[in-house]
Chain A
């Protein structure tokens, strides 16, 4: 095995406080949505769908909050962390 690669693998990935905060934003938002769904289950019409029309089943606030958290985490955070790490590496 190439020794250079091994040494690269062994370098621990150090994340700054900023990177950790940005990484936590999406999961924290999604968690808030989950807690909201548990505290106010009547706002989730999907749990008792009988008699509700399209909009009541399609637009459910706790699920929207979870969706925003996941969208932010998967669509925005990865590129942002890459750019942040690049900037930090260039500054060192």
Chain B
């Protein structure tokens, strides 16, 4: 009854898409309006924390090598940490804006984990391409949470931060896609399959 690995990727993509839409709406209406209802204020940090929690069973049941296990474990830890810090900021338990650097470090650690645990080059096969793409996207997009921690009112940083999650969701949905660009590219990668 365990879902196939690609379904887990698609479910995480769905969570990230919802997270991205919430952040985009917050960027447009402003934090003050977004937080007028308590449940809404806790929504996206709670979602980020929950995604971190759900990453643990992924680490336990879906990793077939030590480096995959370490990468998924790192994602679980940094997602939970970043979500928990944002929850504490909303709740008022933490005040200093520098705490927002937790999200920037989560992006950097996640991106590094993607790049380190992918052993093949970009065009070796579909999953290698996506791992490199996801890794570099996260590393480069870390600038948005970084700017957000220095300039919390920056609209550009907030919009970029939100759109990063939408883009990550699109990449995750591409897992096991049969479009040629995501198919097996190297003959060493074996016969193409869905």
Contact = CB atoms under 8 A, between A and B. Distances in A.
Interface of A: 18, 21-22, 25-26, 29, 40, 42-43, 54-56, 59, 61, 64-65, 67-68, 71-72, 76-77, 79-80, 83-84, 86-87
A55 B21 contact: no
A25 B22 CA distance: 10
B44 to A, nearest CB: 10
A6 to B, nearest CB: 31
A67 to B, nearest CB: 8
Chain B interface category by residue count: 20 to 34
Contacts, number: 69
Given A25-B25, A65-B17, A68-B21, A42 B11 contact: no
B33 interface: yes
Given A79-B40, A87-B32, A61 B10 contact: yes
Interface of A is mostly: helix
A65 B25 contact: no
B29 interface: yes
Contacts of A21: 28
B10 A80 contact: no
B34 interface: yes
A80 B18 contact: no
A80 B30 CA distance: 11
Interface of B: 1, 3-4, 7, 10-11, 13-14, 17-18, 21-22, 24-25, 28-29, 32-34, 36-37, 40, 43, 173, 177-179
A71 B10 contact: no
A59 B3 contact: yes
16 contacts: A21-B28, A25-B21, A29-B17, A40-B177, A42-B178, A43-B177, A54-B1, A55-B7, A67-B14, A72-B18, A72-B21, A72-B22, A76-B22, A76-B25, A84-B33, A87-B36
A32 B22 CA distance: 17
A52 to B, nearest CB: 11
B17 A83 contact: no
Given A61-B10, A61-B13, A80 B173 contact: no
A40 B28 CA distance: 32
B113 to A, nearest CB: 24
A61 B12 CA distance: 11
Contact of B28 (A18, A68, A79): A18
Nearest to B4: A55
A43 B178 CA distance: 9
B118 to A, nearest CB: 22
**Which of A43, A59, A61, A77 lies at the interface centre, i.e. has the most chain B CB atoms within 10 A of its CB?**
A61
B22 to A, nearest CB: 7
